Copies of this chain bind each other. A is one copy, B any other.
Amino acid sequence: MDDLDREILDLLRANARMPTSEIAQRVGLSAAPVARRIARMEASGVIKGYTAIVADSSVGEIDAFTEIRLTGQTDTREIEEIARQVPEVQQFFTISGDPDGLLRFRVRSVEHLQSVVNAIRRTGLVAGTKTLIVMSTWDRATDVGGSGREQRALDAP
């Protein structure tokens, strides 16, 4: 993991479908070593995957978050069990503090939302939930003009 790897990661975060040859050109290498670096990062788990960012509303779906508070004796790792039981859950985050976790899911309607929230409660693992319905989303990685380095302003703490 050197600076070149981090540059490659930034470019892939901005556009996961960017050809290796273009990445190579931007970081000042030829294509072969870039491909090898990407393969290495995929194998080592630094890169967990590539995904398309879809405007849920244009597919007629609702994007929502549910904060969950686990029951006293529940290990935070059991949040995975909720995701397993509720197939609408797309992502979860284990949180240090309050709440204990954040679930993100997509539903087709408000009725469907209700049934998903109830399914989460029915797992018996959660002491309480609070659901946040997303009205709009924005992502720097895919925003226009965001074409590389300016996406990582992590240099100035």
Contact = CB atoms under 8 A, between A and B. Distances in A.
Interface string A105-129: 0111101100100000000000000
Contact of A51 (B13, B76, B92, B137): B13
B137 A91 contact: yes
A109 B59 contact: no
Given A14-B51, A47-B53, A59 B6 contact: yes
Q: Report, as a range, how many residues of chain A touch the other chain.
A: 35 or more
Interface of A is mostly: mixed
Given A139-B48, A139-B90, A154 B61 contact: yes
Contacts of A150: 87
Given A17-B17, A112-B157, A93 B53 contact: no
A134 B95 contact: yes
A111 B53 contact: no
Interface in A55-97: 55, 58-59, 61, 63, 65, 76, 80, 83, 87-97
